[in-house]
Structure 1
Amino acid sequence: MTEKIELVLDAKAELGEGPCWDARTGILYWVDIEGEKVCAFNPTTGENKEIVLDQQVSAVVPTLNKDKLIVALEKGLFYLQEQTEELQLITEIERNLPDNRTNDGKCDAYGRFWIGTMNKKEEKEQGALYCLDTNGEFTKKLDNISTSNGLAWDKNNNYMYYIDTPTQKVLRYEFALDTAILGKAVEVVDFSDEEGFPDGMTIDQEGMLWIAHWGGSKVSRWNPNTNKKLEDIELPVLNVTSCTFGGGNLQELYITTARTGMSEEQLEKYPLSGGLFKATTKVAGMQSAFVADSI
């Protein structure tokens, strides 16, 4: 299924995360959480523009306005003007929980922005999953979350897939696109026998899930209807964090990685840790959605 894997940027990111492809411009946005950077990678030129902020940033998604991004900082959601690097607060998040920060975030097909939180000391069930609706309403959708991570929606928007990393499971929620209401949840992937932990996630046109292995040196492809793994993509790094489809035909899987917390021996073994990789696939992915202008 996967033809080749290549390092496209030896970024040496501390905690590369949150890749999001803008099909309008051919730019891959991603973040270095601990490096406090929002990055815009141009595959054509190889240029990686960096916007350095003054706090950790865990997610970035373009808006329908091409000059404006939405970013998740430690304690809030902000608009980021890409040209001027100006930040504008949209909403604060968990100001009453100083040991929490935001983590993975993604936009649904309606233009809503979903963002999860986690405890910085990795204490369990201290986080939550929130949704910023197109009318500006900010609502808690799930509670007692430990490490809110991968999000994906099927092409018909009947289901939302979700990862709370320490549970070692992917859950599929019934999903109503017009209301953002989450219904019944069922387990569709059991990661307990896998190497590493499930981190970020994306979905392809066939409805298969692609899951990054934190501590497992790979991305794996799964059939959520059968709980069967279909393929492994091995990478020359230890901590694989997330992935998304890009390129003109959405058959280039961009993969972020991390080097944070690794020992000198591990870094010697995996010198490309923190790099941005690309795998060419035979199946096309789903196009990333953009945040609505009305928020």
Structure 2
Amino acid sequence: MRPRVLFEAGFETGEGPVWDARLACLHCVDSTNPALWTFNADGTVLDRIALPQCIGFAVLTNDPNRLVVGLEDGLYILDRKGRSLEKRLDPEPGVTSNRINDGVVDHDGSLVFGTLHRSYTEPDGAMYHLSVSGDLTQFDSGYIVSNGPFPHPDGQRFLVANSEIHEVYVFDRQPDGKFGNKRLFCDWQVGWGIPDGIVCDTEGGVWIGSWGGAALFRFHENGRLDQRIAFPVSQVTKAAFGGPGLSELYVTTASRDRDRKVETLAGALFGISTGFTGIPAGHVQAFQP
């Protein structure tokens, strides 16, 4: 499993790849040079929409032209055709020291996302669950940088990274739909870099990007390390399965604080043929017209 370059995007902070099977395209974001990028399966660029604030994530809705995006101060509907934004919810009103970071659609169409502390120094970030009906609940706190939320394919567990302290958690689903029994998912070693985005394959494997570790890691569902895929760049952020049969793994990277004369591929979009397949991306059910 050797990563190959699909597009030398030069992302400052590439993040949040998500495959839309309806259009056979990949969306991803540049968090700090804020934009939504859209690619064909082969990595050719279809579109780039510049955004007015840092963006943590973009996820699908029932309308392929409308995405829910997490900007600095709240959740918005992004109309790709009209290139317009409509604010729908601020999860932390009046809190200017935080911003929204990574997010994902859960199996039932609810949205799970987190916040981070802008200076990366205080554990003021939290994890949130937006139900199908639009009810917002905070289910965990104490994050300097929350990252990588992703539902396990068994439907019983949910994974989250507390990046700056090098911890990855697993939660159990409770009968009321909330998350509980928080515990460490794996023994993440500091020497591996900072755990970033998370995605699961259909066999229950958990793939975690490593910021500063120049690698993408796969763990068995029990938290045991399975393999490490080396990258020619140091900041590997997040992966998503896509392409025909959801068999291609798309991986975003970042060039922030890197010398691109030295690390020439920093911020590129990569592809890997892994032999594994992924789970179809969900569609947010809140905020439907």
TM range (shorter): over 0.9
Q: The residue matched to 1:150 in structure 2 has which SS?
A: strand
Residue of structure 2 aligned with 1:171, choices 169, 172, 175: 169
Give the letter aligned to residue 213 of structure 1.
S
Partner of 2:183: 186
Partner of 2:159: 161
Give the letter aligned to residue 273 of structure 1.
A
Q: The residue matched to 1:268 in structure 2 has which SS?
A: coil
Partner of 1:269: 262
Which aligned pairs between 1:43-122 and structure 2 lie closer than 5 A? 43-44=41-42, 46-122=44-120
Q: The residue matched to 2:10 in structure 1 has which SS?
A: coil
Residue of structure 1 aligned with 2:128, choices 119, 127, 130: 130
Question: Separation in 2 of the partners of 1:138 and 1:156?
Answer: 24
TM-score by length of 1: 0.93
Change (3 A) 1:45 1:59: closer
- Give unmatched runs, 5+ long, in structure 2: none
| 1:236 and 2:214 matched | no
Give the letter aligned to residue 243 of structure 2.
G
CA contact (8 A) 2:131 2:286 kept: no
| 1:256 and 2:256 matched | no
CA contact (8 A) 2:134 2:286 kept: no
- Give unmatched runs, 5+ long, in structure 1: none
* Alignment root-mean-square deviation, CA: 1.5
Question: Separation in 2 of the partners of 1:215 and 1:253?
Answer: 20
Stretch deviating more after TM superposition (100-109 or 285-294)? 285-294
Partner of 2:274: 281
Partner of 2:205: 208
Change (3 A) 1:59 1:294: closer
Identity %: 30
Give the letter aligned to residue 46 of structure 1.
T
Change (3 A) 1:179 1:86: farther
Change (3 A) 1:208 1:248: same
Partner of 1:291: 284
Give per-residue Cα distances to partners, 1:138-197, cap 9 Å, x unaligned: 221111212100112122310001111123222111114x74301212222111254211
Partner of 2:220: 223
CA contact (8 A) 2:88 2:287 kept: no
1:93 is displaced (CA, Å) by 2.8
Stretch deviating more after TM superposition (189-198 or 84-93)? 189-198
Q: The residue matched to 1:207 in structure 2 has which SS?
A: coil
1:45 is displaced (CA, Å) by 7.2
| 1:198 and 2:195 matched | yes
Question: Separation in 2 of the partners of 1:48 and 1:127?
Answer: 34
Give the letter aligned to residue 158 of structure 1.
Q
CA contact (8 A) 1:80 1:86 kept: yes
| 1:33 and 2:26 matched | no
Question: Separation in 2 of the partners of 1:261 and 1:29?
Answer: 24
Q: The residue matched to 1:83 in structure 2 has which SS?
A: coil
1:66 is displaced (CA, Å) by 1.8
Q: The residue matched to 2:164 in structure 1 has which SS?
A: helix
TM-score by length of 2: 0.95
CA contact (8 A) 1:189 1:224 kept: no
Q: The residue matched to 1:249 in structure 2 has which SS?
A: helix
